[in-house]
Amino acid sequence: MEGMTEPLHPFHRYVALGDSFTEGIGDPDPNAPAGHRGWADRVAEVLARGIDDFAYANLAVRGKLIRQIADDQVDAAIALDPDLITISAGGNDVIRPGTDPDEIGGLLDEIITRLSVTGATIVVFTGVDVGFSPVFKAIRGKVAIYNENVRKVAEKHGCLVADQWALVALQDQRVWSADRLHLNPLGHHTVARMVLETLGVPNDLQPMEPEPLPERSWRQARAEDLSWAREYFVPWIVRRIKGVSSGDNLLPKRPEPAPVTTPGDETTAM
């Protein structure tokens, strides 16, 4: 009809699956469910604009391995009847010693096969190019193999690929949290922009530059490395030995599709 504007996208019910990356760890916000915002919330805030019946659920839980995501989140997502699904799964598996990126890719294929019955648009994620990271650069080749499996699964099932490997802005320690494992608010903002671009959704999210790092001596840098190891790396190793996860006994922050409250100024919200 004359005078009516076309919606910016076709999506009305978005469901996000995954682990801490999708839950939004590293992007604290007291106004967000469970106190974490994250890239998926940021994407949903944009998608909700102008769509009166838009609803968003986030089933991701920190620490989950790909088999746990398959067991705990996939059927729940299908039951929510989404028309848009994002899934990032396998990152926690890839960083564990002795895991096989081909086996992880096979599990992702099984998950996407199951999710495809919804007819939803499905977005999958490659892993970040970790060559910049002193902590993870040793597994760069393993991440690359996993990424090739992600691309193969995406081509097989007609998924969109949110390509973090090619997102050079993530190869900068200034977009990562103090734990060196999770993105900080700027990192989540950057990923949200990339996901919306992958979906072809116009938006007004602006690129944002991190603050310059203060100059540090070699001794200061090594002291920071030791402090990081004590605070984050050693507890991670202890959890692996004990067979426990940071997400044990936690529930998803948005288990049911619900309307999204959009911050007033999305271009600067951090």
Residue 73 has pLDDT above 60, yes or no: yes
Of 178 and 25, the structure prediction assigns the larger pLDDT to: 25
Position 77 scores a pLDDT of: 98
2 inside domain: no
Position 147 scores a pLDDT of: 98
* Residue labelled with tokens 């089933």: 59
Position 217 scores a pLDDT of: 63
Confidence class of residue 226 from pLDDT cuts 50, 70 and 90?
A: low
Confidence class of residue 220 from pLDDT cuts 50, 70 and 90?
A: low
Confidence class of residue 270 from pLDDT cuts 50, 70 and 90?
A: very low
Confidence class of residue 1 from pLDDT cuts 50, 70 and 90?
A: very low
What's the domain range around 168?
A: 13-207+218-258
**Residue (of 9, 10, 44, 6) closest to 24 by Cα position:** 44
21 inside domain: yes
By CB atoms closer than 10 A (0-12, 13-18, 19+), residue 38 is buried
270 inside domain: no
Residue 266 has pLDDT above 90, yes or no: no
Strands (E) in the chain, as ranges, are 13-18, 55-58, 84-88, 121-125, 160-162, 254-258
CATH number of the CATH domain containing 230:
3.40.50.1110
Residue 232 has pLDDT above 60, yes or no: no
Q: pLDDT, tens digit, for every residue of 140-173?
A: 999 999 999 999 999 999 999 999 999 999 999 8
Cα–Cα distance measured from residue 142 to residue 127, given in angstroms and rounded to the nearest whole number: 10
CB 36 within 8 A of CB 29: yes
Cα–Cα distance measured from residue 200 to residue 203, given in angstroms and rounded to the nearest whole number: 9
268 inside domain: no
266 inside domain: no
247 inside domain: yes
Position 133 scores a pLDDT of: 86
117 inside domain: yes
- In Å, what is the CA distance from 51 to each residue of 30, 46, 255? 25, 10, 21
Position 267 scores a pLDDT of: 37
54 inside domain: yes
Q: What is the mean pLDDT of residues 7-28?
A: 95
Confidence class of residue 48 from pLDDT cuts 50, 70 and 90?
A: very high
Total of domains in the chain: 1
Of 50 and 25, the structure prediction assigns the larger pLDDT to: 25
Percentage of the chain surpassing pLDDT 90?
68
Q: What is the mean pLDDT of residues 259-266?
A: 66
- pTM for the full model? 0.87
Q: What is the mean pLDDT of residues 32-46?
A: 95
Residue 236 has pLDDT above 70, yes or no: no
**Which residues, other chains included, contact 94 with Cβ-Cβ below 8 Å and sequence gap of 6+?**
101, 104, 127, 139, 142, 143, 146
